[in-house]
Amino acid sequence: MHFERQPAGEEVVAVDELALAKVLEDCLDAMADGESDLDALAFRTPDAFEEIRPLLAVAQLLAERRPQAPSAPPEFVESLRERIESQYSVA
C-alpha cells in the first residue's frame, strides 16, 4: 500500500483515501482499547506514517479533553430505583 497524494479526480485517490481511512480506523480502535504509543500505531503502516501520525495526535487531544459524564451518587440511584419500583409494583 502506498499513500501518495494524487491529483483530484483520479480513481487512485479514492482507493488511497479508503485505504488511509481504514488504517486510521484501525489505529483509533487500538487507541480506544488503551494503546497510547502514537508512533507505534502510526508505524503499523509505514507508508501512511506521515499522514496518520498527526491525525492520531489530534484524536488523542480530543479524547483527553472530552468531558466525562458525571456519575450519579449512589444515594440518588437507590432512591430513583425505589421510586420506580414502587410506582410499578402491583398492589
Q: Which residue matches cell numbers 488504517?
A: 23
Q: How many CA atoms lie less than 13 Å away from 67 in the CB half-sphere?
A: 3
pLDDT at position 13: 53
d(CA 58, CA 42): 13
For 23-64, how does the pLDDT look when each residue is reduced to its tens digit (9 = 90+)? Answer: 999 999 999 999 999 999 999 999 899 999 999 999 999 988
pLDDT digits (tens, 9 = 90+) for 62-86: 988 877 777 888 899 899 889 888 8
Q: What pLDDT, on the 0 to 100 scale, is given for residue 3?
A: 53
Helix (H, G, I), strand (E, B) or coil at 27: helix
Is 42:25 a contact under the CB 8 Å cutoff? no
CA 55 to chain centre: 11
pLDDT at 89: 73
State if pTM tops 0.95: no
